[in-house]
Amino acid sequence: MKPEILGVLQDLNFTEYEAKAYLALLGKSPLSGYAVSLNSGVPRSKIYEVLGGMVSRGDIIISHESTPLYSALPTNELIAQRKRKAEKIFEIAQEALEQYTLSSQNRENIWNISGHEAILNRVKEGIKGAKYRVLLEVWKEDAEELEDILRQASQRGIEVLIVCYGELDFDFAKVYQHDMSEHITSEYGGRWVVFSVDDKEVVAGMTSLGNDSLAAWTMHPGLVMPITEVIIHDMYIMEILYEFRKELEERFGPDLIYLREKFVIGPCGKKHYVHSLP
């Protein structure tokens, strides 16, 4: 066998023994494993392991008779098979590397999103890409715009957990109803959305200001962690309220209003994220 031909086959991901066996079968087929060993120089102790691997990969064909016989896949079919496999590998590699690059770049960036529709569209894209869990803190009005895509995520096996300001009946999700939606809307001057997917990506911002609505979207770990934990923390509070509401309201007022009032800035009782302090 010419070394050059062996080298060509090895460039096609054949081992030396596989290349020798394939060339022996190109010269004469079908052959028994014993005959392939004799014609190729592959040791008898290795020949059936070598041939078995080539059969499973589709490089040769076996006929299951009392004595199995092997034939080489025609060279044009072999080359076409290798081309298809190489093209598929390149496609997968390109997509994986592009996603890795995008993810790496996004982990360092914080993007501004302007406008109610654009903010919810970014949340929808995040939900589409979810693999494990969606956490959402949102007003009823905005949650209803996300219902279809959240339902689809749940049907894919994604865990959907929502803290909602207002009554929300989503049978596919675990919903924690916040009791003070009207008071909080008045206090803050609008609605917000806080979204986390798979503990890797977050969107947070105001959604009730129309085209002036503004949110941030990021994969930066320094923001993903605290924003995600804010949602989880509110779920902790909801769980505690479900269990000990009477005792807590005796101490902190209806819906814990005394706690909210404790941390207001200025005399008007309003928060100033949207409008500056007077």
Structure tokens at 39: 């014609």
Residue 76 exposure: Cα atoms within 13 Å on the Cβ side: 0
pLDDT at 13: 87
Which candidate, 226, 224, 181, 178, places its Cα nearest to that of 203? 224
pLDDT value at residue 277: 43
What is the reported pLDDT for 86? 87
Residues 6+ apart with CB under 8 A from 159: 132, 133, 134, 174
Output the six-digit token pair for 95. Answer: 């997509």
User: What pLDDT score was predicted for residue 145?
Assistant: 95
Does residue 197 contact residue 228 with C-beta atoms inside 8 Å?
A: no
- Regions of the chain where pLDDT drops below 50: 276-278
Q: Say which residues have a Cβ less than 8 Å from residue 27's Cβ, sequence separation at least 6.
A: 39
Q: How much is the pTM? A: 0.60
pLDDT at 70: 93
If phi > 0 it is left, if psi is from -120 to 50 it is alpha, else beta; for residue 157 that is left
Number of Cβ within 10 Å of residue 180's Cβ equals 15
Contact indicator for 154, 172 with CB cutoff of 8 Å: yes
User: Could you tell me if 40 and 21 are in contact, meaning their C-beta atoms sit under 8 angstroms apart?
Assistant: yes
CA–CA separation, 147 and 170 (whole Å): 8
Q: Is the dihedral of CA 43, 45, 49, 55 positive or negative?
A: positive
